[in-house]
Amino acid sequence: MAEGESTYLKVDIIHRLAERFGYRRYLEFATGTTGYLYNLIDRDRFEECRRLLYNAPADFADGCAVDYRTEGLDISDLLAAIARERGRFDIILVDPYHGYRESRRDLDAALALLEPGGALVVHDCLPPTEELARPDFQEGAWCGVTYKAYLDFVIAHPELPYVTVDTDYGCGVVRKVASLLNGRALSGDQFAAWRGFGDDYSAAWRYFTAHREALLNLIDVDAFVAGRDGLG
């Protein structure tokens, strides 16, 4: 681990991408128990910052504005509100409720809101233990199966380059640029094996632990900061 890597967080990845690619419009997908960084976003870097928050109780407050909000897991009304505003964004953090359905839904929705050339930053893509990667909600630390939804998502979009930065529980970065070479390390047979696990999360975890570097296109912080990541 490089010096200082343990303190390099998802917000630092967002800021670095904004600096590198000139991103000016930011959106955050989060819940009442995820995110935890909206106050750290450097507003001087962005012309627009917005937050979509779901699964948050009515009395939730953290001192920061919430632009789109619901107490439940269904975000269809929030997405409709963004659509009415014709909202489009350069960079979107996806830090979802960590069940599979919600994670995959949020990734698909975020991609649809992303401008060409923009980037998704996805949190909790590298759970350190199987205990933290359980599919059902648990109090306290919980990465859930966002990692599996993320991998299914990038495999379903072979045209999009992605890497995963090995810091802060794994931060995936996916760019909406179809002309770049992905440099994916796994063979077609290995990706096909991954697809075959379906909702067998125990089998998926075993395969993930054996092949995570290749599945995730895993890189360290130094490589990301230096731009040695194939993202353009």
Give pLDDT, residue 232. 85
The residue with greater pLDDT, 100 or 36, is: 100
Q: Are 132 and 141 in contact (CB under 8 A)?
A: yes
Where are the alpha helices (H) located in 40-163, listed in sequence order?
76-84, 100-113, 146-156
Long-range contact list for 29-32, CB < 8 A, 24+ apart?
Answer: 29/92, 29/93, 29/94, 29/95, 29/96, 29/106, 29/109, 29/110, 30/93, 30/95, 30/96, 31/55, 31/56, 31/95, 31/96, 31/97, 32/56, 32/57, 32/60
pLDDT above 60 (res 134): yes
Query: Tens of pLDDT along 10-19?
Result: 999 999 999 9
CA dist 67 and 79 (Å) reads 11
Give pLDDT, residue 180. 52
Q: Are 116 and 176 in contact (CB under 8 A)?
A: yes
Q: Are 185 and 151 in contact (CB under 8 A)?
A: no
Domains of the chain: which residue ranges? Answer: 5-226
Give pLDDT, residue 5. 41
CATH 2.60.120 fits 5-226, yes or no: no
Query: Tens of pLDDT along 49-87?
Result: 999 999 999 999 999 999 999 999 999 999 999 999 999
Whole-Å CA distances, 165 to 21, 99, 172: 17, 21, 6
pLDDT above 50 (res 1): no
Query: Tens of pLDDT along 139-195?
Result: 889 999 999 999 999 999 989 999 999 999 999 999 999 755 555 656 677 778 888
Beta partners for residue 52, in sequence order: 29, 68
The residue with greater pLDDT, 179 or 216, is: 216
Query: Tens of pLDDT along 74-120?
Result: 999 999 999 999 999 999 999 999 999 999 999 999 999 999 999 99
For residue 80, count CB atoms less than 10 angstroms from its CB and return exposed for 0-12, middle for 13-18, buried for 19 or more.
exposed
CA dist 216 and 47 (Å) reads 31
Give pLDDT, residue 184. 62
